[in-house]
Every structure is written in C-alpha cells, then in structure tokens.
Structure 1
Amino acid sequence: MDTFAPVFIALYVAHSVGDHWVQTSHQAATKGRPGWPGRLADARHVATLTATKVVLLLPVVALLGLHVSALGLVAGLGVDAVSHWWADRRSTLAWLAKVTRQSEFYALGTPAHPAGPVTAEGKPAAHLGTGAYALDQSWHHAWLLVAALIITTV
C-alpha cells in the first residue's frame, strides 16, 4: 500500500504532462485518422507518453525507495500504453460511447450536440472542452489505476 499511492500519483502527473505538453500538434491532429497515418501518429504519441511516464516514475521510485519489479513496470506500462492507443484512435472511443449510450455526452461541446455552444448569432462558440475529451481522460485515468495496481503488485 505504501507503494501504490506514489506510483499512481506519478503516473497521473506524467499522463497529464505527456498527453498535453509532450504530444505534438501533428500527433493530436493525425492519431484519429483512418489507416496507417493515424495508427503511426497514435503509436508515436503513445511512445512519447510512455517515455514521459518512465522519466517521471523512475525518480519517484528511486528517491522514495519503492520496491517495484521490472516485470511489473513493463506489464503495467504496457497495459496502459495499449489502452491509451486504443482510445486515442477516436473511432474506438466514439463506438464505446455509442454502445454505453453516452453519444450525446460524447458530442457535448460540439456543433453535433443538440445544445451545442453557440453565439447569439447562432455560430459555434468557443468552449473549454468537450464530452469526448472528458470521456477520453476518464478512460485513461481508469487505466492508470490498473497500471499502478499491476506495477505495485507484480
């Protein structure tokens, strides 16, 4: 238990840094496209994201004297990477939202939503986020929990 909390916190912080600061604009714009260009952009994003997690997690483990195994690290980060790549293909997460009846929330903050944000003139209005982004991040957070459990118990 003494290991789980710092590992989860390090993964959570590294996820935020890697998903928002390290990811390139090209990766963000391309990773959801069909075919190999989208798959490869997503793979590059996940590679830099995972590297960010390693760079932030290893000093936490070393400085706090945490006991984790190499197998646990590889397995936990691997599960996290696969789940992240899957969701970031976008069509996959949109499908999951559809089958869980979250499509309306998924469209929140976009012109596709029945209550999409618009200006007084009826044009799309600026906003701070979308339902798709919220579902994406909550998906990633759930898998960070799984990754931290694997890292600290394997």
Structure 2
Amino acid sequence: MAKGKTAGALACAEHVATYTATQAVALAAVQRATGMRLSWRRAALGLAVSAVTHYVADRQGGHWRDEQPRGVVRLAAATGHSGWLQRDPNAGYLMDQAWHKGWIFVAALVAAGGEES
C-alpha cells in the first residue's frame, strides 16, 4: 500500500483529506437531519483530531513487523503487545482498526463537547 511507504506521504495525505471530507459531509447531514447544533469550531477540531490520528496510523502501514518499530508499533511494544504483532498475521490490521475507532470516539467527544460561544 503506497500510503505506508516513505514516498507515500502524499498518497496518505490525499486519502486522509478525502476521508475527512466524507466525515464532514456525514456530520453535516446528521446535524441537518436531527436538528443537532454543534459549534463549528468544535466540529472542526474533532475532524482535525480524526485526520491527524488517521494519518499517523496509516503511515505505519506495512511496518508492523519492522526491526525498528515506529509510532503505533512502538505503542504496542510499550504496552506488551509486540509478541502478538509478530505471531498473529491479523494483529497489525486489528490494532490499526482499534486505533482508528478509538480516535474516532475521541474526535466525536471533542466535536460534541462544550457549548456554542
């Protein structure tokens, strides 16, 4: 996958930009359909949290078993999961998806928190 390779930074950024735009459209649609009122600043901050963390995770693609781990893989090692990454062929994918879903939850809390000023 290009977005995980050294030369893939642009491919990853393009992927994250379209992903974030899709999230923004979905958020606007939900807001319109439900009458929910979000602060545009908090919504933008939530989308930024989602975008940045998505980019960080996707740049790890293909590096789950490297000798010199980076980023998310270092986090796995620090929490005692490096053996799991080595043994289970699905571990990288599962950790990637857990990372994405966890940060989407955080981004939603950021977007929904606070009051319109």
Structure 2-normalised TM-score?
A: 0.82
Alignment of 1:61 onto 2:31: yes
**Where does residue 12 of structure 1 map in the other structure?**
none
Structure 1: which 5+ residue stretches go unaligned?
1-28, 111-129
Alignment of 1:33 onto 2:5: yes
CA distance in 1, matches of 2:33, 2:86: 43
Aligned pairs for 1:34-53 within 5 A: 34=6, 37-53=7-23
**Where does residue 104 of structure 1 map in the other structure?**
83
Alignment of 1:152 onto 2:112: yes
AA of the residue aligned to 1:32 = G
**Where does residue 74 of structure 2 map in the other structure?**
95
SS of the residue 1:134 aligns to: helix
**What is the root-mean-square deviation in Å for CA atoms of aligned residues?**
1.4
Per-residue Cα deviation, 1:35-65 (whole angstroms, up to 9, x for no partner)? xx22111111110110111122211111100
Percent identity over paired residues = 39
CA distance in 2, matches of 1:53, 1:32: 22
Which fold has the larger relative contact order, with Cα–Cα distance below 8 Å and residues 6 or more apart in sequence?
Answer: 2
CA distance in 1, matches of 2:28, 2:107: 14
Offset of residue 100 of structure 1: 1.8
Structure 2: which 5+ residue stretches go unaligned?
61-69
Offset of residue 92 of structure 1: 2.1
Per-residue Cα deviation, 1:54-99 (whole angstroms, up to 9, x for no partner)? 1222111111000101101110000111111111111422222222
**Where does residue 66 of structure 2 map in the other structure?**
none
Aligned residues: 105
Aligned pairs for 1:127-138 within 5 A: 130-138=90-98
Structure 1-normalised TM-score?
A: 0.63
